[in-house]
Structure formats: C-alpha cells, structure tokens
Amino acid sequence: MKVAIYIRVSTEDQARDGYSIRGQKKDLTEYCKANELEIANVYIDDGYSAKDTNRPKLKELLSAAEAGEFKAILVYKLDRFTRSVRDLYDLLEKLNKHGIGFISKQEKFDTTSAMGRAMIGILGVFAQFERETIAERVRMGMVQKAREGKKPGGKHPYGYDKQGQSVPEEFSILRKLRELYMDGLSYQAIAAHFTRLGVKRRKNNWTASSVALTLENPFYAGIIRFGGKMANGKYPQRKREERVEVLESDGDHEAVWTKEEFKEHIELMRRRSTGGFGRVNTYWFNGVLRCGRCGAAMYGRLTTKRSLKDGSIVRSSYYWCSNRKANKSCDMPMFRQSHVELLVLDHINQIVADQELAKANQDRIKTKELRTKEEIDEIESDIRKVNSRIDKWQYAFAEEIISAEDLRKRMDEEKKSLELLNSKLEKLKGEKKQQLPDVIMNLHDIWKVADDEEKQNLVCTIFKKITLNTEMTNVKGKKNSFFPATAEIEYR
C-alpha cells in the first residue's frame, strides 16, 4: 500500500524532545519497512504550529490525497497532524470521502481498519462538544467585555492601533468622511474622492461599502455594542439561535464623533435610503468635479422647489465650488448638472471623432497590459523556484546533508525572498486595472439608457478628475444656464 508521510516540527524545544524532522522521518521510514508500506512522498512543515490547518505542506498533502496519489497518510503522532479534535475529525472526514486512510504510529490509530473507522464517529461527538464549549466560552467572555465597556473581540477598526489607541491621521480622515457625507456626497462619491487624493483605508482603497459601514459603526461614537441589530437595522451574519440580546455601554476608548453626531448621520442615512431626503444619486459628478479657478472640489446641490403649471414639483441639480460655499473666497459660478453633462459628452464625442487618437490609445493599453502580464508571469515563476528550493533544503536536512543551523539560515533567506516577490506581485496586480476604451467610445449611447446610480458609477469608474473652466463670474437667469465653459478631463 502506498502511503504519504507527513512531518511537522514547530520549535527547537520540540526537536530536543524527539520530534525533529530527522527523527520523525527515520522512525516512520522504519515503520513502513516493517509493515511493507511503500512511501509515495514525504511532506514536511518546518516551523508551523498545529493550532490550525493553515500549513503549506498540509494543503499540498490534502490536494495529493484528492488526486489519489496514495492510499493512506502516516504521521509520527496525532499532534503532528493537528492538536484540535474538531480539526482532526474534519480532516479524517475529508480523507474518508476520497478513500484515504490515516495512520498514527504512536497512538496505534489506523482508519484503514474497521476499529479505526469506528473511531471517526466517536471523534465526531467530541468535535461537536469542543465546538459548542469553545463557542459558549467565547460568547460569555465577549458579553462580559462589552458590559465593562471594552471591545468584545476582533481587530480594532480603522482609526485605532492594535492597542485601541487613536491614530490622529486616521481620525482626521474619518472626520472628513463624515463631513463630506453631511455635505451631500454619496458613499460612492466619498470613496472616489479619497481614491483620487490617494487616501487609503490602511492598505486598501475606500469603497462605497466601507464608507457606509464606517458611518454606521457605533464604536466611532464611543459606544460598545454587542449582539442585536446593527445601525442599519440588519442582523449580523450569524445563525438565528446565536443572536443575543443587544448590549450597549460606554467604551473606554476615544470617540471620533459624539453620540449626537452619530445619531444625526444615522438618521440622515435612513432618510436617504427611504426617499425622505434629496436623492444623492442625482449628483452624477460628485467626487470628481473640480473648480478650474481655485482647484477646490465642486459639490452637488438642489435648487429650491418649483411648481409647474400641472401642479408638479421640480428641483434641478447644480454644482458649486466648495470654497465659494465655505468662505466665498472663489467667484466660480454655479453649473447646472445638465450643463456639466453637455460639456463632458462633447469632450467624449471629440475623442470618438479622432479615430487615430483612439487607435493609439488602444495600442498603448495593449502594450502596457502585455508588459504587466510578462512581469507577473516572471515573478510567479520566481516564487515557484523559491518554493522548490525550500523543499530541497528541508530534504537536505532530513538526509543529514546540512545542519539544523544551516537549515534555519537558508529558510530565513528564502522567506525574505518570498515576502519581497509577493509584495511585487501584489503591487503589479493592483496596478493591472481594467482598461475602458470600449466604454469610453460607447459612453454616449450607454449614457442615454443609464439611470442616476448607473451614471454616477460610470463617472467614478471612468473619470479621475473633471475640471470646469469659464471666464464668467455672475450668472443669473434660466436663459444663461449654458454659459461659455470648457471641461478638462483626466481618465483613470
């Protein structure tokens, strides 16, 4: 029978206690000879704990098991495989589905026999007991922490360090986020605004979802909340029977905004979601529109209500410079949204008319995509080479070709190489954004059938910045709605 040997060692102490790679391999090899077992492969996880199953060689072993490369897995001792009854049961269930046995030399545990297979059922009972006991202890601990005004678990959100202390730079961004929302910007427009300025949410870009979740998080108002519904009225993603009565207390951490401010913008979020407030999707160009006179952002507003002859009420969207609004330091006139729309579509039509420019743009994009793909392929190839070298160093140690000190040194060097390569790969994949030449070329037709939300999404996706320019200063009257102006556009 073909077997795969799995070896794990986590610390120098374990090596001294007889669990070294070399020692485990020697004992298991002798066991195979004595029991006439053929060794298909040896999988070694060096320097990994058994607290979970997130180990590279264990994952490789399980993939090989699914492919049917051997009939059983052999380990020196159960705790070399896992220290959790729950994980052991789950792993054995997975192996059993593929007809793969499991043998532990020390405990005489062998699922290739009838007695061993019966043990899987017993393990299942203990695994369920372990799950429920851990869950109950964790829940009780979280409730007690919440009552004491402490965060009941998990990472501290953006704005705080690992110890729960405020990060001034991030606090400033959070306050700006709320200010933009109260000024009328949508979640998407705020995310686009921060992206354009290069403001990150730690390592990630802001999104409409992360903006909304930030605003509705009571932690930022100094409130510790556990269980029950969230600020948006929805339950957290957990089973109905696991939901507990909501607990609220004053936290011992520094708040970003006051409880009154929190209630104010939560109420505004509810009104906007139910139609009790001017729809933010009316403002298609929020987040990308800039004043060509002072460089400040331009924000959407609605005109006062106007009654038509048929009795209906209308309100028009327009944009004004934030400096004009804040302190009247800029005299840029207000632009109707229909005026901005006309300027942008005229600009697009000029690009479409210039076929040579369009073709050159497509060729440039294809060249850049090809170069990026080649760089990604090269780095992925280098990563595979490093992983191959790691395997060779481990086997060299197991065969007593190199010492433990040499192995540690080599492994440290290879891990540093992997970190560097993975960092480069992540950066390249992040830069490999979807190019939109076809969307730009067909924007005029798409725009005709798009609704408000789709138009706003198109603007945030395609345009990086739209700068409005005009020599006009004081524009009044409906007849002057479309005064002379131009739009400078930067694409993403």
Active-site amino acid positions: 10
Contacting residues for 483 by C-beta, under 8 A, at least 6 apart? 333, 339, 470, 472, 475
Reported as half-sphere exposure (CB side, CA atoms, 13 A), residue 124 has a value of 8
Strands 109-110 and 101-104 turn out to be antiparallel
Contacting residues for 392 by C-beta, under 8 A, at least 6 apart? none
Reported as half-sphere exposure (CB side, CA atoms, 13 A), residue 202 has a value of 9
What is the dihedral angle through the alpha carbons of 471, 345, 492, 186, rounded to the nearest 10 degrees? 80
> How far, rounded to the nearest angstrom, does the alpha carbon of residue 197 sit from its chain's CA centroid?
20
CB-count exposure of residue 130 (10 Å: 0-12, 13-18, 19+): middle
Residue 108: both structure tokens together = 């005489």
Strands 38-46 and 2-9 turn out to be parallel
Residue 123: both structure tokens together = 């393990």
DSSP category for residue 19: I
d(CA 108, CA 111): 10
d(CA 36, CA 39): 10
Reported as half-sphere exposure (CB side, CA atoms, 13 A), residue 234 has a value of 8
DSSP category for residue 403: -
Q: How many CB atoms lie within 10 A of CB 459?
A: 25
Q: Is 146 helix (H, G, I), strand (E, B) or coil?
A: helix
